[in-house]
Structure 1
């Protein structure tokens, strides 16, 4: 995976099953629920050349509306520190996507939110602090 490129998007809502149906019908996207979890994979523009794919799930951050883009980075910790140094902020701290990646939700100085994503097949949730 190329570093510092947009990798995927996520769409959030209180009723993700209904949203999945909406995006299927609105754009003809392939939207399939992952077994056993409240997450749907989205394939946009399947078979029609390069396309950005994503997912759909329950809203993780209350009041956060819109779609979230994720940027693949070589080091989540270094990138988060650089974002803070440049006047950005951390919205949701480093979180594991089990056996897939580490993710942090950040904001730029204008408060625009996006995710930074470090692929890691060994990622697993960190222990809760005492």
Structure 2
């Protein structure tokens, strides 16, 4: 299970715009840490424990990280939105036998990620 993720990049403003508009994520500057933003994609309870979903961080680095898959309602629609927001589709929609569809993409800073749509 993934417990946290970080997205590297030099232009945080562009990445915040890209991911907040693509997935409706919320970003908040980390208190006491330079050049680090907290990414909230899952709700937090009153004790600030994470729900079963994963939250992450936006950090400065030039390394390409792990490939994470994000669940979406439609690979086709999300692929169009990725391109409209300045990202690129690297591997167009492909079917995984009797499971679903995926596409691989990169954000405006060149970070790799994938989108996944369940078949059922």
The TM-score, its normalising length taken from structure 2, stands at: 0.46
Structure with the greater relative contact order (CA < 8 A, sep ≥ 6): 1 or 2? 2
The TM-score, its normalising length taken from structure 1, stands at: 0.43
Larger radius of gyration: 1
